[in-house]
Amino acid sequence: MAKSIDVSGLNIYYGDFLAVQDVNVTIKARAVTALIGPSGCGKSTFLRTLNRMHEVIPGARVEGDVVLGSDAIYGPNVDPVEVRRTVGMVFQRPNPFPTMSIYENVLAGNRLNNRKLKKADADAIVEKALSGANLWSEVKDRLNKPGMGLSGGQQQRLCIARAIAVEPQVLLMDEPCSALDPISTAAVEDLIHELKTDYTIVIVTHNMQQAARVSEYTGFFNLKAAGQPGHLVEFNKTSKMFSTPEQESTEAYISGRFG
């Protein structure tokens, strides 16, 4: 069910301000692609265009094409709601719905599509999604407790469970570990490893070690100059990127000489 993503000639705007310029890239299915780069270079902005969350911000818009499998997600008559159901997203800070229990949090997306979910089906989805997020054994005895009662790392895995419960084809992760301690980070990274057998995963990270640990492919974003739009400098296999990058600025960034 995982699909690849083809991006061509993508320009991303906030109002009249061009934030990211001319991105061309193919993101492989069933693999982890990491996006790295200094703050403000547009990597999160780019990520949010892959499920049309970018346009939620007033005045934000894009030019260019993003093709998911064989469907252009910015094509005419495409429903952004459908796109977001197909491309799941995990945010920087864990955001389970505080008014819902763990159980209801996992089902939040499914309930939207199917009001009359059978109890047996619902139970099956919850167990499957929580197991998929490596959380089942930790929470199976307190499914009806509020999701906010969990630790930060557990909350983030709950959010991942919520995202995979609607069976997306792609999972986007926007710095999913930046608010977590090292142990929780390790748990989420393990999970990413397991998820890539089923999903196309795109992860934005500030942490280059993390990119090296979890991803097969890496894209490096950077500003052309201060005040200029961001762009994709280099896209390569992670192993190549971190040993012999093609661009000088990539090497400078990775070796810690700037950014």
**Interaction site with other proteins (CB under 8 A):** 1, 51, 53, 56, 58-59, 68, 71, 73, 75-79, 81-86, 88-89, 91, 93, 95, 97-99, 108-110, 112-114, 117-118, 120-121, 124-125, 128, 131-132, 159, 162-163, 166-167, 197-198
Distance CA 231, CA 247 (A): 13
Is residue 22 within a helix (H) or strand (E), and if so which, with residue range?
A: strand 17-27
Kindly tell me which of 16 and 248 has the beta carbon lying closer to other proteins: 16
Kindly tell me which of 132 and 230 has the beta carbon lying closer to other proteins: 132
Distance CA 250, CA 234 (A): 7
Least Å distance between CB 106 and other proteins?
A: 11
Least Å distance between CB 111 and other proteins?
A: 9
Kindly tell me which of 123 and 251 has the beta carbon lying closer to other proteins: 123
Least Å distance between CB 95 and other proteins?
A: 4
Kindly tell me which of 36 and 90 has the beta carbon lying closer to other proteins: 90
C-alpha distances in Å from residue 192, one per residue of 72, 112, 117, 210, 233: 26, 26, 28, 11, 25
Least Å distance between CB 23 and other proteins?
A: 20
Distance CA 59, CA 40 (A): 18
Q: Taking a C-beta distance cutoff of 8 angstroms, is the pair 30, 2 a contact?
A: yes
Distance CA 16, CA 111 (A): 38
Contacts of residue 85, Cβ cutoff 8 Å, sequence gap at least 6: 109, 113, 166, 168
Least Å distance between CB 65 and other proteins?
A: 13
Kindly tell me which of 85 and 206 has the beta carbon lying closer to other proteins: 85
